[in-house]
Amino acid sequence: MKLGIVGLPNVGKSTLFNAITNANAQAANYPFCTIEPNTGIVPVPDTRVDWLTELYHPKKSTYATVEFVDIAGLVRGASKGEGLGNRFLSHIREVDALVHVVRCFEDGNVVHVDGKVDPERDMETISLELILADMETVQKRGEKARKMFKTGEKKYEVEAELADKVLKTLEAEKPARLCQLTAEEKEITDSWFLLTDKPVIYAANIAEDQVSEDPAALPLVQKVLSKAKEENAEVVVISAQIEQEIAALPEDEKQLFLDELGIRHSGLDNLIHASYRILGLISFLTVGEDECRAWTIKKGFKAPQAAGKIHTDFERGFIRAEIVAFDALKEQGSMARCREKGLVRSEGKDYVMQDGDVTLFRFNV
């Protein structure tokens, strides 16, 4: 999973990136501090892996991971090459989803590129630039398809009509992901790599002294929630500064710090969980003396596809999967006890994997 962190300059993108990856990306009080995208890979917190590690004492424990990419701040005109526009847009095409950081704090010491903090305007600025870039892409696709009409192939007529359909959505200043498409149409537009077709999580970046407040009661956050609702987008309220303080603490002190603030989960945890939801991802687990590990797959994957995540031979020679739900294993305390209780199931090729399945694949190549 690859998430691109985007936003206007000076909204807290690089501060948030530093906090969640401990990568110390350059963060300064002027536009275009980030030029080349910084990347960092972080483990996905998973208490199930922690518990299994205590049970099996493996040689190593491996968590699922998320790659974060800190992309340069965007300004008006980026779709036409303003600022670092073209480079910015090319980096966005490479990610699975966008984390759009929106400034929801006032601070006279941190300049705003437009002179005043206004989350709704900031969200629209970036959205519009991505829409304009996509309009150019879609128009070119339509023109190319029309030139191919002379071949007589039906697919070019279908593609031209689809380009017109998506263009109408974009011209209404709506992202491509809101265009109602059939599965066949979606397969075509996926090959266009549209920027506004990517899922978005809005990260409302609030001040340190606001973290204990009800986010919905904060006027600037309300604007983000309202705008995101129109797009069916996720919102995570986060304080990049607080996240940076959490990141600097030893592991055993982090939860104490959160408890003092009256926060149940860190912003990073909430962000990762939101990412899994919008991308339709789940995790299954494998256990043993060598390794306890979480594997990320798409929701709806069948057992052979999940096996293929471990090794292509597992999918090619799949026989069956022996599965027990993590909650059942935790309740019983051991795999042997689960077998005694008949909780370990033998599943075939048509089994749809569930989040938290503790799995042993049987295969023969």
pLDDT tens per residue, range 327-360: 999 999 999 999 999 999 999 999 999 999 999 9
SS (H, E, C) 304-365: HHHHHHHCHHHHHCEEEEEEEEHHHHHHHCCHHHHHHCCCCEEECCCCECCCCEEEEEEECC
Average pLDDT over residues 214-236: 90
- Give dist(CA 297, CA 354) in Å, integer: 10
Tell me: pLDDT of 281 over 90. yes
User: Residue 40 has what pLDDT?
Assistant: 82
345 strand-pairing partners: 323
The percentage of the chain sitting over the pLDDT mark of 90, rounded to a whole number, equals: 56
User: Residue 111 has what pLDDT?
Assistant: 54
Tell me: pLDDT of 29 over 50. no
Tell me: pLDDT of 129 over 90. no
Average predicted confidence (pLDDT) for the chain: 86
Residue 291, CA atoms < 13 Å, CB-side half-sphere = 10
Tell me: pLDDT of 48 over 90. yes
- Give dist(CA 113, CA 89) in Å, integer: 19
What is the pTM (predicted TM-score) of this model?
0.82
Q: How confident is the model at residue 31 (pLDDT cuts 50, 70, 90)?
A: very low
Cβ atoms within 10 A of the Cβ of 363, count? Answer: 17
